[in-house]
Structure 1
Amino acid sequence: MASAFPHQPTVDHAPREQTDVVIGGDEPTDVLRVLSCDTAQRILAALTDAPGTASDVAAAVDVSLQNVTYHLDRLCDAGLITPVNTWYSEKGKEMTVYAPTAERLVVRFDAPADRSASERDRS
């Protein structure tokens, strides 16, 4: 029996060109901590290929749905992925579709703002 719900409509998402991760700036970043896990890296790579749901990603990276959901939450919190759409399963259940927030991730180093230039030069 055909479903009344569209299963996978087209996702219209254009990630920004670049995200900068600044090490040593005023605000700490969790990006590197989140990406230190191989599973998170594989999930991000899978979503870079094509937006998908947690179950799509779990199948693509051969990891349990529970583990993928954990990493998707962490990747969202770190600002590396974002929900971009909602798809419906054949049973009518809403499924969040995720995609990367940027095409490139650039890590750069910066001294905290409260240190003067002379203090940075002596370090």
Structure 2
Amino acid sequence: MTSAFPRQTKVEYSPRERADLTVSGDSRVEALDALSSGTAQSILGALDGDPKTTSEIAKRVDTSIQNVHHHLRRLEENGLVEPIDTWYSVKGREMTVYALTAEKLVVQFGAAEQSQ
């Protein structure tokens, strides 16, 4: 049985070259907390290169889809990953495709300097 939906479209996506994260007071504690997890770090590593679905990431980092979904949500809330496409499974279920938002993450502690 063929599906009416394209199963996997070609994803053309290029993350920004760099993302800056300034940690000052409580402003970005959540982002550091999200990054401190070994699973989250493995997920970021799995996304380096090509965007992937939650199930592809789970297989790559050897954990459950639910665990990957939890960490992806936290990483997305902090601007480190983003959904970029939707693919469909053989059964027609929607699968969100995730990618890194930037190739490099620079963490700076203290107030960000304002350029004038």
Bin the TM-score by the shorter chain.
0.7 to 0.9
Q: Percent identity?
A: 53
Deviations 1:21-67 (A, max 9, x none): 11227x71122110100000000110113101110100110100110
Whether 2:70 is the aligned partner of 1:65: answer no
Deviations 1:64-85 (A, max 9, x none): 0110110111111011000000
Cα displacement (A) at 1:110 = 2.4
Determine the structure 2 residue equivalent to 1:38.
38
Cα displacement (A) at 1:112 = 7.8
Map 1:4-23 onto structure 2 (within 5 A): 4-23=4-23
Unaligned runs of 5+ in 1: 114-123
Unaligned runs of 5+ in 2: none
Say whether the 8 Å CA contact 2:46–2:60 is kept in structure 1: yes
Say whether the 8 Å CA contact 1:20–1:106 is kept in structure 2: yes
Map 1:39-118 onto structure 2 (within 5 A): 39-111=39-111
Structure 1 residue runs of 4+, over 3 Å off? 1-4
Count, aligned residues: 112
Task: Give me the TM-score of the superposition, normalised by structure 1.
Answer: 0.83
Amino acid at match of 2:7: H
Higher Cα radius of gyration: 1
Backbone CA RMSD of aligned residues: 1.8
Task: Give me the TM-score of the superposition, normalised by structure 2.
Answer: 0.88
Amino acid at match of 2:102: A
SS at structure 1 position matched to 2:34: helix
